[in-house]
Structure 1
Amino acid sequence: MAPQTTIPTLHSLSHSQAHRCLWMLEELSAVDPTFKFNLKNYPRKVPYNKDLLTVFRLGKSPIMTLETTDGSPPPLIQFEPGVLTEAKSILEFINEEYASERWTPTSPEDKRRNRFFCEFATGTLAQKNDFTLIFEILGQIAPWPLSWLYRLMGLPMTMRFKSDLQPVFQILDDALSEEKPWFGGAEMGVSDFNMNWGMEVAVQRGYCDLSKYAKLRDWYERVEKREPKKRAVERGGKMDLVWFGHKGTKFKMEELGASGQKKVD
């Protein structure tokens, strides 16, 4: 690994996509003990945690900031000096800048495969998860008596999107084998980090029944058993993607917003 010229700080909102970025940072720390990074955790608040707005104007997690090791001004990577946002982009930066592309496959075939599953994870899987979640979460968090009405109204669309997800899981299952147990191919790739978020959502919310997809289940369990993944959970907190840490919270309509939907990062 090349000597660090910047020290990253991950600004991580609980129960958010920052978790996959923290996992990669922990993986890198496991193979390179000299690698340094900082972590700042932010709890979820109603309607949102305003402290993140002081880090980047959108206030959305994950955010990664950079501090140079020689005290010079931070580099411009995306839009503002020393600030990176968007989980997929942050993962790519960590892999290229700090890990010497450790999670970029070497063979042309696996390189193309890795690129495809990065897009599949953050596009197809994440998008269909979000469609399902939107119709579910209104009935889940809205105050009574609106909650039962939202559940009833959203049920047809929820069932439709859950059904749409099943071919997605089948494709993921079909892509895995003894020769290529990772979405990156023979070895773990950036795509596996990206895929983790969508699969965590799908499994926790009951969209994916892993008993129906043996190879996908093995991949999921293999990830969860990795020591750096466990370390990410210890440092960043266990993810609750059913209630996003708000189980039992009674929301007021003004907190949910005019549309009745609570803001979820």
Structure 2
Amino acid sequence: MADITTQKLPSPTLHHLSSSSSLRVVWALEELSMSSGLEYNLKNYKRVKGRAPEELKKVFPLGKSPILEIPGVNLFRPLPFLHDDSNNNETKTIVTESRLILQLLSDQYSNGEWVPETDEDKERDTYFLEFANSSFTGVVNSIIYFEIIPTMSPWLVRPLMSAIFNPIAKILKQGLNPHFDLMERALSDEKPWFSGAKIGLADFTLSFPMDTADQRQYLDEKKYPKLAGWVKRVHDRPAYQNALKEGGSYDLVRYDN
């Protein structure tokens, strides 16, 4: 992404879907609002039968949230053909994918408060960013798929589908234990955040899969007290609480169904 940190950028607009990973971006924006007075616009979209509305596809073809829009500047154009397809000559930046949005906010709108201060913490932050987006989220999502299939089935066959898929989900949940073990060991009084001594991008990124694990009762708080403590620290932050108020529903069990 282009480095134009010396230029004051326009206020960004976040296209936010209820009960989705986009909440972590709302949280990050609220942190910046509280720390540096960032003004941003939030456009909320409600799920329709558990899915994103078609309206989001007008903003970006995949129709997935989060989508960050910055008017008047070209910061990031990985897919220039999308701009060429546009029927107007309006200049704006469209960024999708949570990790890219969070990185842009850190690079362009923050005062460097999320950048780790030591090389060790930088490596730690980099690792847990990848961990959050790859192995950990992959396991969490696989469990959800098998839990949701019975609930979406016609009621006549729902008992049969539950009998088939619930045992599979139970087996898959066992795959979370090595991940929780690793995360538990990583936290300490000296490094209470996954980014190290202070909160960083890894913590924002991990908040969604961990919120999912928390709401769906995958996390044994007695077995993993430090990890449960991290969840509480996140939830107790005023900016996170503001994000919940601004972002609307955050139901990671039924997804607004």
Q: TM-score, normalised by structure 2?
A: 0.89
Q: Indicate conservation of the 8 Å contact 1:176/1:215, yes or no.
A: yes
Q: Once the 2 structures are TM-superposed, how far is the Cα of residue 101 of structure 1 from its aligned partner?
A: 3.1
Return the alpha-carbon distance in structure 2 between the equivalents of residues 238 and 144 of structure 1.
26
Instruction: Give unpaired runs (5+ residues) of structure 1.
Output: 247-265
Matched, 1:18 2:29: no
Return the alpha-carbon distance in structure 2 between the equivalents of residues 48 and 10 of structure 1.
15
Report the counterpart of residue 143 of structure 1 in structure 2: 154
Q: Once the 2 structures are TM-superposed, how far is the Cα of residue 74 of structure 1 from its aligned partner?
A: 3.9
Number of residue pairs the alignment of both structures matches? 241
Relative distance call for 1:233 and 1:2 in structure 2 (3 A) is farther
Q: Indicate conservation of the 8 Å contact 1:132/1:158, yes or no.
A: yes
Q: Once the 2 structures are TM-superposed, how far is the Cα of residue 3 of structure 1 from its aligned partner?
A: 5.1
Q: Indicate conservation of the 8 Å contact 2:52/2:64, yes or no.
A: no
- Structure 2 matches for 1:18-57, cutoff 5 A? 18-33=22-37, 35-46=38-49, 47-57=51-61
**More displaced stretch, 78-87 vs 153-162:** 78-87
| Structure 1 counterpart of 2:206, one-letter code | M
**More displaced stretch, 75-84 vs 56-65:** 75-84
Return the alpha-carbon distance in structure 2 between the equivalents of residues 48 and 240 of structure 1.
14
Return the alpha-carbon distance in structure 2 between the equivalents of residues 60 and 232 of structure 1.
19
| Structure 1 counterpart of 2:116, one-letter code | P
Matched, 1:108 2:133: no
Instruction: Give unpaired runs (5+ residues) of structure 2.
Output: 83-91
Runs of 4+ in 1 over 4 A off after TM superposition: none
Q: Indicate conservation of the 8 Å contact 1:2/1:100, yes or no.
A: no
Return the alpha-carbon distance in structure 2 between the equivalents of residues 21 and 52 of structure 1.
17
- Structure 2 matches for 1:166-181, cutoff 5 A? 166-181=177-192
Matched, 1:128 2:139: yes
- Structure 2 matches for 1:1-265, cutoff 5 A? 4-33=8-37, 35-46=38-49, 47-68=51-72, 74-79=74-79, 80=82, 82-246=93-257
Report the counterpart of residue 260 of structure 1 in structure 2: none
Q: Once the 2 structures are TM-superposed, how far is the Cα of residue 141 of structure 1 from its aligned partner?
A: 2.4
Q: CA RMSD in A?
A: 1.5
Return the alpha-carbon distance in structure 2 between the equivalents of residues 11 and 44 of structure 1.
13
**More displaced stretch, 94-103 vs 130-139:** 94-103
- Provide Cα deviations, 1:61-97, integer angstroms capped at 9, x if missing partner: 11111113xxxx5443432551110111111111111
Which SS does the other structure have where 1:22 is aligned?
A: helix
Return the alpha-carbon distance in structure 1 between the equivalents of residues 229 and 6 of structure 2.
34
Q: Indicate conservation of the 8 Å contact 2:13/2:41, yes or no.
A: yes
Return the alpha-carbon distance in structure 2 between the equivalents of residues 193 and 48 of structure 1.
22
Report the counterpart of residue 263 of structure 1 in structure 2: none
Return the alpha-carbon distance in structure 2 between the equivalents of residues 2 and 76 of structure 1.
17
Return the alpha-carbon distance in structure 1 between the equivalents of residues 205 and 75 of structure 2.
25
Relative distance call for 1:177 and 1:76 in structure 2 (3 A) is closer
Return the alpha-carbon distance in structure 2 between the equivalents of residues 238 and 187 of structure 1.
28
| Structure 2 counterpart of 1:12, one-letter code | H
Return the alpha-carbon distance in structure 1 between the equivalents of residues 161 and 111 of structure 2.
49
Q: TM-score, normalised by structure 1?
A: 0.87
Q: Indicate conservation of the 8 Å contact 1:78/1:84, yes or no.
A: no
